[in-house]
C-alpha cells in the first residue's frame, strides 16, 4: 500500500489512460472526498438497500449497477428512505454508479448529510469492476525500492543488478541501441501483484527514462532513441547480477542447475554473469532472455545436454572407445 492513506479523491485523480481509465466524476457528497479507501475490493449493496445489514461490507467501495438503481427507483416511488438512511449510517468510503446512472434527490440529500461521496462513470458494471480491481490490486500491493536497471529484452523483463560501476547502465544502453526498451534506470520500484507477479517501474516518473553514463553524464533515452525505446512498467521475469570476474570463483558452465532469488516473497530466475574485458554482456543477456523463453516452453538446453552425455556414455560406441576394440566381446 502507499506510504500515505489512499482517499476517494486520490481514486478520482488517478492518471489512467485507455483500457485502465475509470472515467470517474463526483456528483455529490464532495465533503467526504477525503474518506480513506483501505480495502481493495467492491461491494454490491443490494442487500443493504433491501434492509438486510447482517455482514454488510460497508468498509468497501459500494458499486451501484442497473439492478441497484432500479430498486432505488422503486423505493423512491414508494416514498421509502429508511433503509437508505440506515445504509448511510455506516462509514462507507464512497458510492459509485455505473452506466451514467443517477440516484434520486432523496439519495443525494442523505449522502450529503452523511458526507459520503457519490461518484459516477459511463462504464458498465462488469467493465468498471474489472478495471478498478486491477488498479486497486496494484495500489495496495506490497512494494519495494531497489537499486538496478530494468529493461525489456525480447518481451522479457530483466532486472540488472550489481555493484556501482560494474557497467549496469552501459549494458542497458547497448541493449537499447540494439532495439530493446528501458523501463527504469538506477532506482526501480517493484510491486507484487496477486501474490505471484512482480511488476517493475521507475520510482520517479520525472527521471525514470534518464540514464547516468559515467564520463558522459545524464542522457534522455526518449529524446535520443524515441518512444520505441521506453516503457512505463513491465513484469520482472529474470534477474541478472553483474560482478567483476573473479578467477577463484567456480562459475556456472553447464546451466543444469537453475538459480533463483526472492523478491517480495516471489522466486525469480537469476543469473550471475562475470564481467571482464572481451565479454559482450549485452549479447549474453539477449541470449539469456531467449534461453529463458525456451525454458518457459519446456525446453532446457543444459539438462538436455546432460541427458545426451549420459546416453552417449551408456552406448556401445562409448564403451568401445573406453575399453578399446580388443576388450569388446
- Find the radius of gyration of the CA atoms of the chain: 28
Given a contact cutoff of 8 angstroms between Cβ atoms, the answer to whether 82 and 53 are in contact is no
Residue of 185, 186, 210, 233 with catalytic role: 186
* SS (HEC) of 240-263: EEEEECCCCCCCCCCCCCCEEEEE
Residue of 147, 205, 223, 307 with catalytic role: 147
Rounded to an integer, what is the distance from CA 47 to the centroid of its chain? Answer: 34
Residue of 4, 17, 19, 253 with catalytic role: 253
The answer for residues whose C-beta is within 8 angstroms of residue 32's C-beta and 6 or more apart is: 8, 94, 114, 115, 116, 117
* CA dist., res. 329 & res. 317, Å (int): 13
Residue of 53, 62, 57, 54 whose CA lies nearest to 93:
62
Catalytic annotation on 186?
Answer: yes
- 3-class SS of residue 15: coil
Complete DSSP assignment for 140-183: TS-EEEEEEEEEEETTEEEEEEESTTSSHHHHHHHHHHTT-EEE
* CA dist., res. 133 & res. 194, Å (int): 11
Residue of 35, 60, 138, 168 with catalytic role: 168
* CA dist., res. 242 & res. 164, Å (int): 10
Catalytic annotation on 168?
Answer: yes
Active-site residues, by number, are 147, 168, 186, 253
Amino acid at each position: 500500500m502507499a506510504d500515505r492513506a489512499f482517499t476517494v479523491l486520490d481514486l478520482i485523480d488517478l492518471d489512467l489512460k485507455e483500457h485502465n481509465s475509470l472515467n470517474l466524476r463526483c456528483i455529490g457528497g464532495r465533503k467526504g472526498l477525503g474518506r480513506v479507501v483501505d480495502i481493495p475490493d467492491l461491494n454490491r449493496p443490494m442487500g443493504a438497500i433491501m434492509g438486510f445489514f447482517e455482514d454488510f461490507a460497508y468498509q468497501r467501495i459500494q458499486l451501484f449497477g442497473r439492478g441497484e438503481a432500479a430498486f432505488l427507483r422503486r423505493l423512491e416511488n414508494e416514498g421509502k428512505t429508511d433503509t437508505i438512511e440506515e445504509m448511510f449510517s455506516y462509514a462507507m468510503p464512497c458510492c459509485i454508479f455505473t452506466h451514467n446512472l443517477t440516484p434520486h434527490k432523496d439519495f443525494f440529500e442523505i449522502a450529503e448529510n452523511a458526507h459520503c461521496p457519490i461518484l459516477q462513470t459511463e462504464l458498465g458494471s462488469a467493465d468498471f469492476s474489472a478495471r478498478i480491481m486491477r488498479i486497486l490490486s496494484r495500489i495496495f500491493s506490497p512494494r519495494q525500492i531497489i537499486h538496478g536497471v530494468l529493461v525489456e529484452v525480447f518481451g522479457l523483463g530483466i532486472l540488472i543488478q550489481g555493484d556501482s560501476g560494474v557497467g549496469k547502465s552501459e549494458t542497458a544502453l547497448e541493449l537499447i541501441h540494439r532495439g530493446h526498451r528501458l523501463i527504469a534506470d538506477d532506482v526501480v520500484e517493484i510491486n507484487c501483484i496477486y501474490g505471484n507477479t512482480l511488476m517493475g517501474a521507475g520510482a520517479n516518473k520525472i527521471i525514470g527514462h534518464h540514464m547516468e553514463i559515467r564520463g558522459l553524464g545524464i542522457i534522455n533515452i526518449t529524446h535520443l532513441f524515441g518512444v520505441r525505446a521506453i516503457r512505463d512498467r513491465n513484469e520482472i521475469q529474470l534477474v541478472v547480477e553483474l560482478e567483476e570476474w573473479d578467477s577463484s570463483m567456480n562459475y556456472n558452465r553447464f546451466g543444469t542447475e537453475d538459480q533463483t532469488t526472492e523478491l517480495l516473497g516471489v522466486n525469480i530466475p537469476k543469473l550471475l554473469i562475470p564481467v571482464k574485458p572481451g565479454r559482450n554482456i549485452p549479447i549474453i543477456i539477449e541470449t539469456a532472455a531467449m534461453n529463458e523463453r525456451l525454458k518457459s516452453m519446456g525446453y532446457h538446453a543444459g539438462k538436455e545436454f546432460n541427458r545426451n552425455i549420459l546416453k552417449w556414455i551408456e552406448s556401445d560406441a562409448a564403451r568401445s572407445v573406453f575399453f578399446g576394440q580388443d576388450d569388446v566381446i
